Amino acid sequence: MKAVIITQPGVPAVLQIAERPKPAYSANEVLIKVAAAGVNRPDVKQREGKYPPPAGVVQDIPGLEIAGIVVEVGATVTRWKVGDQICALVSGGGYAEYCNAPQEQCLPIPDGFSFIEAASLPETFFTVWSNVFDRGNLKGNETLLVHGGSSGIGVTAIQMAKALGHTVYVTAGSEEKCRFCEQLGAAQAINYKNEAFPAVIAQLTNGKGVDVILDMIGGDYTPGNISSLAVEGRLVMINSMKGKDAQVDLAQVMVKRLAITGSTLRARDTTFKGAIAQNLQKIIWPLLASGIIKPVINTTFPANEAAKAHELMESNAHIGKIILSFEQ
C-alpha cells in the first residue's frame, strides 16, 4: 500500500509517500481500505518528534481518524462485516491506503455523508464528548467557553453543545472566524486580538462566569480562565499551545470550588474509547444524520500533498477540518 510517512522529525516536507505492507490486524480489529483521513494537531506534533505514538502502534505513519470500507475482519469481530462503510478513531497509521482499527472504535458513516465528511468526525467528536461532557460534566443549562472556536475541535464543540441546549462562547483570532463561529451557533465570539476575553465573559454573564472552559491554549490564558469560571466551574485542558507552565490563583480555585483537569485521548484503552463511541452513536449521530450538526471541511488535499495540509494546519488560517483523500 501507499502511505504517508515521517522520514525524519522536522518540517512538513519530511512527509513523503512510501510503499508499505498492509497492516496486520488482531482478532478484535477490522482492516479498512481508507478513502480519507483527517489531519489534526497531534499529527503535526508527531511529525516534529514531540508526540510519539503509544507502544505497539506504527511509529512513522501519522493519522488518528479515517473513513473507508471494511475489507477484512478479525476472528472475534461481531459488529462489522466486509463492505461496511465506517469511520474510525485510531492511534496512528491513518495516513495510508489501509489501516486497522478495533471494532469498538468504529462508527457507521452517517446517512448522506461522503467519506471526506466522515473522516472529519472521529478525532474531534471523541475528544469533545470525552472532555466537555464526560470530564467537564457540562449539563442542564450550563454555559461553555471554547478557546480556538474555529478549529476542528472548536466547530465540533460549538455545534455539539448548542444542539444539546447549552450557551456557547468562543475565542477566535479574526473577525471572519468570529462571525463564522456565531453563524455556527456560538452566542458570542470574542476576537482575542482585540478584546480581553475575561472582561467580555464577565459582561456577557453578568459577572457569574461560565461553567466549563475547554482550553487548548494554556500558558498565559490560564489566569483569565480561572477568573472566567463560575462557582463550581471546570477548566478542561486538551493542549498547551502557549506553554505548559501557568500561573494559577489558588485562592480563586478554593473560594469558587473550581476543578482543573485535562486529558489526552490517544493512549486510552479500547474499552474507554468504545464507551465514547456508544454515546456518540446514541446521542450525536442522529443529530448528524438530521443535519442539526454538520461537518465543517476547510480543505481536502490528495494524500501526496500531506506536507501542504500540515503547512495549512500550522498557519492557523483554516476554519474547520483539513482532510487527506486517498481516492484521488
Report yes or no: 66 and 34 within 8 Å, Cβ to Cβ.
yes
pLDDT of residue 149: 97
Average pLDDT, integer, range 70-95: 98
pLDDT of residue 1: 98
What is the value of pTM for the model shown?
0.96
CA distance 258 to 39: 33
Q: In this model, does residue 100 exceed pLDDT 70?
A: yes
- Spatial CB neighbours of 137, under 8 Å, sequence gap ≥ 6: 212, 234
pLDDT of residue 266: 94
Q: In this model, does residue 101 exceed pLDDT 80?
A: yes
pLDDT of residue 328: 63
- Model confidence over 34-48: pLDDT tens digits? 999 999 999 999 999
Cell 462508527 appears where? 107
Instruction: Report the share of the chain in percent with pLDDT over 70.
Output: 100
pLDDT of residue 89: 98
pLDDT of residue 81: 98
Confidence of residue 49 (pLDDT cuts 50, 70, 90): very high
Residue ranges and CATH numbers for the domains of the chain are: 2-121+266-325 (3.90.180.10), 125-262 (3.40.50.720)
- Model confidence over 236-259: pLDDT tens digits? 999 999 999 999 999 999 999 999
Between β-strands 143-147 and 297-302, what pairing exists: parallel, antiparallel or unpaired? unpaired
pLDDT of residue 35: 98
Confidence of residue 225 (pLDDT cuts 50, 70, 90): very high
Average pLDDT, integer, range 56-65: 96
Average pLDDT, integer, range 59-86: 98
Q: In this model, does residue 10 exceed pLDDT 70?
A: yes
Residues paired with 101 in a beta bridge: 30
pLDDT of residue 290: 97
CA distance 265 to 153: 13
